[in-house]
Amino acid sequence: MSTLPPRVAGWPWWIPRRRTPGLRREEVAVRAGVSADYLARLEQGRDTNPSVAVVDALADALLLTGAPRDHFTMLALISGHEYRCPGAESADEQLTESMRMILRALQPTPAVVVGRRLDVIGWNPAWADFFAPLGLLDEENDKPNLAWYIFMHPAAPRVLRDWPAAADYVAAALNRAKVRWPADDTVREMIEALRRNPGFAERWKPHRLDDHRSGVLTFDHPVHGEIDVPFETLDSDRDQSIVIWLTDRTAAQAPGLRLVESRAVNE
């Protein structure tokens, strides 16, 4: 049931050593104040309607906090009820005026707005100046997509010096999207298409808890050379996220990095 060590969970030190680490189902049930039979029904999918109180009690029993607790709670409450989730249907993703204003305000810091399945919805001039030479904004791409670029574009493994790290970030982002919008056909179709790629398939773990909203990507940039660029992902209360590339930090180590500011935010 759980890999949580019994001693950490508060059970006596004299519990005998087990062949399999972690709490037994009965022990989790006792800590959560539910019956072992009910917990078994939840595990086996024979009961798909746990109350919020039960889910909280189970999270407490497993000592879950932070992102793992949020992930566990969302999975538990939506299981079997995907099509009842608000906003679960496919979204008509258009750049909102508020996001457009944010992109303008962030200039000259590169920033991009992405949708549920990592479609590139909008960007500011600094972001275009940095990423256009990498092939992400090629004319044949009617709707650029970060995930498709990382796993399918032939330039990605060349320009990303740590391609595995970038691939991990993308897989984690799509996993969050699948959990948050479980009935969105466009998200599901994107994931299924990418699973035909071995690099994505080996990273796709539907219940992984990774939360790569920030990190550093290392580029072998055709214009700026070898540079490391930190990024931060901010989720809005809508269906869009904004990714900010902190090139100001990079510029201190790479004085040659200069991004022009002449063009407007993309329409």
Buried b (16+ CB within 10 A) or exposed e, 74-106: bebebeeeeeebeebebbebebbeebbebbeeb
pLDDT at 140: 63
CATH code reported for the domain at 97-253: 3.30.450.180
End-to-end CA separation in angstroms for the chain: 51
Supply the DSSP string of 62-123, one letter for each residue.
TT--HHHHHHHHHHHHHTT-GGGSTT-SPP-----HHHHHHHHHHTTS-EEEE-TT-BEEEE
Element holding 55 (H helix, E strand)? helix 52-61
- What CATH superfamily is the domain 1-80? lambda repressor-like DNA-binding domains (1.10.260.40)
Q: Cα separation of 6 and 27, whole Å?
A: 9
**Are the folds of 1-80 and 97-253 the same?**
no
pLDDT at 95: 87
Render each residue's pLDDT in the chain as its tens digit; 267 residues.
454 554 444 544 434 454 445 567 787 777 877 777 777 777 766 766 777 777 777 777 777 776 666 656 655 655 554 444 555 555 667 888 888 999 999 999 999 999 999 999 999 999 999 999 999 888 665 679 999 999 999 999 999 999 999 999 999 889 888 888 888 899 999 999 999 999 999 999 876 656 667 889 999 999 989 999 999 988 765 678 899 998 765 544 554 455 444 444 564
Say how far apart CA 53 and CA 72 lie, in whole Å.
13
Instruction: Give the pLDDT confidence score for residue 150 in this predicted structure.
Output: 95
**Boundaries of every domain in the chain:** 1-80, 97-253
Q: According to the model, what pLDDT value does residue 252 have?
A: 42
pLDDT of residue 30: 78
Helix 163-180 vs helix 66-78: crossing angle, to nearest 10:
40
| Predicted local confidence at residue 77, as pLDDT | 57
Interior/surface letters 206-229, b for 16+ CB within 10 angstroms, e for the rest: eeeebbbbebebbbebeebeebeb
CA–CA dist 203, 227 (Å, integer): 25
